[in-house]
Amino acid sequence: MDADVVISGGGPTGLLLAAEVRLGGARVVVLERRTEPDPVPRANGLVGQVVTVLYRRGLYRTLARHGRGPKALLQRWFTGAYGTRPRPVRGFSHAGFRLDLRRLRDANPVHVLAVPQRRMEEVFEQHALALGAEIRRGHTFTGLTQDGDGVTVEVDGPDGGYRLRAAYLVGCDGSHSAVRKAAGIGFPGDTSREAVIRMAHVVLPRAALTSSGALRAADGTSYRPYQLHRTAHGAFSFASFIPGVHVLSTHEWDAPAEQAPMTVGEARASLSRVVGADVPVEPPPADGRPWILRRLTDRNNRLADPYRMGRVFVAGDAAHVLAGFGGSHLNLGLQDAVNLAWKLSLVAREAAPDTLLDTYAAERVPQARRALDRTAEQAELMAPGGEVTARRERYAQRLREPGFLREVAEAVAGLDLPYPTGAGHPMLGRMVPDLRLTHDSRRIRLAALQRTARPLLLDLTGDPALAEAAAPWRDRVDVIRATPRDPGTPPALLIRPDGYVAWATPDPAGLPAALTTWFGPPRTP
């Protein structure tokens, strides 16, 4: 074997997957056809549970600020010198409604990290390299054959074609995934052409912007930045990530799309139609940067079926595409990565049976289906027409109810559907909270123990019976004895590398079964 895992695709999902596989102790090679990171601006941030996942890996502050090189990144990662933890946002845009999340107080689950995708890829690549991943730029996946022992991957490199032999192959190569097609994995779904979406970097007139950055229309209406707005003629949003320049996005239903290349003038005309008055939009400065100028007429909602074909898996956009609002795409894809990586590493190291890998689809497909449902609901709430307006009024009334607001917030964060781990404690199948603990006479947070992505048995009982029950798994599972500082903390928790709770009870009787299910059979003395 040339590697335990080969990953096709060096975008955010593929690079984070590579780092997580290395944390699990397996060898990984990433194939990326681009010789340099894509300069075209794409995603502008992360929304949802993945923000807390990256914080627990020690990457939060590095993503928010600039780090320097793989060696420095690895040093800070191990020493924990990353500063503050993420805080929930006070408000968020959902289907054209502004959610006042301050009303949820300590129960607010929505986290946002504003970071350009190129910066994201840079940090993930440095992180993966520092952990020992091999990243081959300018190398393109061209085909595969698989058998009972592994996968032979055909690659076109700068010096010609060659082959790689690996135990497993993961396609993280986007919505047009060559890996998915070569493996014979279907991609059913639907394509909608009801709306035309235009995206462009533009300069908005200063006279039309308020001191808080809102856009004031000719009729006096003010539109907040970083929020999707529905009008009688369509929908639009705008945000500034570069001083003086805004990213503008417009949505028009039943509007014919021009056949000529997209222009800033077209973006201006579209915004003026949606707002109902002319907005004198100007082009961004001609300074050589690759500004966005894009028109979309096809909106795809698709889900790979199956997620696994033998020794081949798909993740990220290769597994699902969502044509919608709310920024759930990367949250979904990056959590595919952290879910799959530790399982691949355990199985590749022969510490767990191959059947563990079937839990990847069992856990992630329902999450993708739920995200598709949420996307469809938002699209319906943004559509034009009097019936939709009446429905939105009823929806706005429901958002005043704390219980419903929390349901929507959990959906935005991707927390509304736990993994199917069976009945029992309410924490089962959910991301463990960042508990406050006293460990080795120090006050710490649980996140400080999750940086290495090792499975944890958190023992808060002080009873040696738990450690004795887990002893045959000590090569794979760390037993942490601590004292809780949060009321209501369960006496004992088995926490997977991706942060999800696999077992929760003070009774050691069920612990060996849970350890075997998730981390393989006990080590023979």
Instruction: Give the pLDDT confidence of 468-500 residue by residue, as tens digits.
Output: 999 999 999 999 999 999 988 999 999 999 999
Closest CA to 408 of 420, 396, 419: 396
Buried b / exposed e along 166-203 (16+ C-beta atoms within 10 A):
bbbbbbbbbeebbbbebbebebebeeeeebbbbbbbbb
Closest CA to 374 of 329, 307, 424, 344: 329
Cα separation of 280 and 269, whole Å?
9
How many other β-carbons are positioned within 10 Å of the β-carbon of residue 307?
26
Beta strand segments in 322-435, E = none
What pLDDT score does 115 carry?
A: 87
What pLDDT score does 70 carry?
A: 54
For the segment 171-192, the average pLDDT, to the nearest whole number, is 96
Cα separation of 110 and 46, whole Å?
11
Average pLDDT, the chain: 91
What 3-state DSSP class applies to 42? coil
What pLDDT score does 362 carry?
A: 98
For the segment 228-245, the average pLDDT, to the nearest whole number, is 92
What pLDDT score does 505 carry?
A: 86
335, pLDDT greater than 60 = yes
75, pLDDT greater than 50 = no
379, pLDDT greater than 80 = yes
Per cent of the chain over pLDDT 70 is 95
More confident residue, 238 or 462: 238
Cα separation of 337 and 315, whole Å?
7
For the segment 440-455, the average pLDDT, to the nearest whole number, is 95
Beta strand segments in 103-218, E = 112-114, 134-137, 140-146, 151-157, 160-171, 189-192, 195-202, 215-216
For the segment 183-194, the average pLDDT, to the nearest whole number, is 93
What 3-state DSSP class applies to 507? coil
For the segment 233-254, the average pLDDT, to the nearest whole number, is 92
Q: Give residue for tokens 């709770």.
A: 501
For the segment 199-222, the average pLDDT, to the nearest whole number, is 91
The predicted-structure confidence for 81-120, as pLDDT tens digits, reads as follows 344 788 899 999 999 999 999 999 888 999 998 888 999 9
- Contact present, 44 and 241 (Cβ < 8 Å): yes
What pLDDT score does 344 carry?
A: 98
More confident residue, 5 or 226: 5
Please provide the DSSP assignment of 104-132 as one string.
GGGG----EEE--HHHHHHHHHHHHHHTT
- The residue type found at 318 is A
What 3-state DSSP class applies to 216? strand
Cα separation of 471 and 517, whole Å?
16
Secondary structure letter of residue 368 according to DSSP: H
328, pLDDT greater than 80 = no
- Contact present, 364 and 40 (Cβ < 8 Å): no
For residues 444, 445, 449, 453, the Cα torsion angle rounded to the nearest 10 degrees is -170
Closest CA to 51 of 43, 61, 38: 61
What pLDDT score does 80 carry?
A: 39
Q: How confident is the model at residue 421 (pLDDT cuts 50, 70, 90)?
A: confident
Cα separation of 53 and 105, whole Å?
21
Helix (H) or strand (E) holding 440: none
21, pLDDT greater than 50 = yes
Report pTM: 0.94
What pLDDT score does 69 carry?
A: 52
Lowest mean pLDDT among 32-46, 302-316, 400-414: 32-46
Lowest mean pLDDT among 172-186, 238-252, 321-335: 321-335
